[in-house]
Amino acid sequence: MWKNDEQLFALFRQELSTAVVGEVLDQIGLSAQFLPIAIRPLDPRMVLVGRAMPVLFADCYETFSPSGLNPVFAKPFGLMLEALDDLRPREVFVATGGRSELAMWSELMTVRAIQLGAAGALVDGCVRDTAALARFSFPIFSRGAFAQDQRTRGKVVDFRVSVQIGHVRIRPGDLVFGDHEGVCIVPQGAEGDVVEAALQRIQKRAEARRELEAGATAVEVFSRHNMI
């Protein structure tokens, strides 16, 4: 059905929704894969599909901490610049950790990510430069817009490590799928089963809709298709 991630992601964008994928994840026992409801797309038309490149933030309280033992805190953004430059094609910059009341993503970061072929950005915090970001066809999901800079408030302490947003563990390479109704994480290796089941479910939904339009009751449709 698909030969590579490019074809797989196109299938997600063109055929699937987070609602259907979420139903399938529930069916296979992965019932806690949606990120917090506060994480929304910058534009409701945005669809995000890609492999997670997790980035771990931590709070800080000054631009430089030369007296500390961790050399990361002696750098203006910690390892943020290195993490950004390490993005690979079709990856999603997934950032979390520390306080959320700061801008974890910006216009210039977007320009760099696009040059690297990244699939999008998802931050468990805020974004800035939203007027400029709106001009890019680059999916960005966040908790909202807030101009406060990260430099003296948060630093990246590691990347390509497992992180957690809400109750969802996100590992490097997991599939990130987001649309205007939410963001779900499909564990790497489960994509095949999820896609096949989701496509079958879409067919069943079409059948259920036709039956409802023909006058079938909700009870009848649910008994035949286990959905409503």
What is the per-residue pLDDT for 70? Answer: 76
What is the per-residue pLDDT for 172? Answer: 98
Residues paired with 96 in a beta bridge: 56
Assess whether 212 and 133 both reside in one domain: no
Backbone angles phi, psi at 54, to 5 degrees: -70, 140
Assess whether 166 and 90 both reside in one domain: yes
Assess whether 126 and 175 both reside in one domain: yes
What is the per-residue pLDDT for 65? Answer: 64
Contacts of 111 (CB under 8 A, 6+ apart): none
0.85 cut: is pTM over it?
yes
Assess whether 164 and 60 both reside in one domain: yes
- Structure tokens belonging to residue 128: 């800035």
Q: Is residue 7 part of a domain?
A: no
What is the per-residue pLDDT for 64? Answer: 64
Three-state DSSP string of 127-187: ECCHHHHCCCCCCEEECEECCCCCCCCEEEEEECCCEEECCEEECCCCEEEEECCEEEEEC
**Domain count along the chain:** 2
Burial class (CB in 10 A: 0-12, 13-18, 19+), 215: exposed
Which residues does the chain have with pLDDT short of 70? 62-67, 69
HSE toward the beta carbon, residue 68, CA cutoff 13 A: 13
Q: Is residue 11 part of a domain?
A: no
Q: Supply the range of the domain harboring residue 218.
A: 193-225
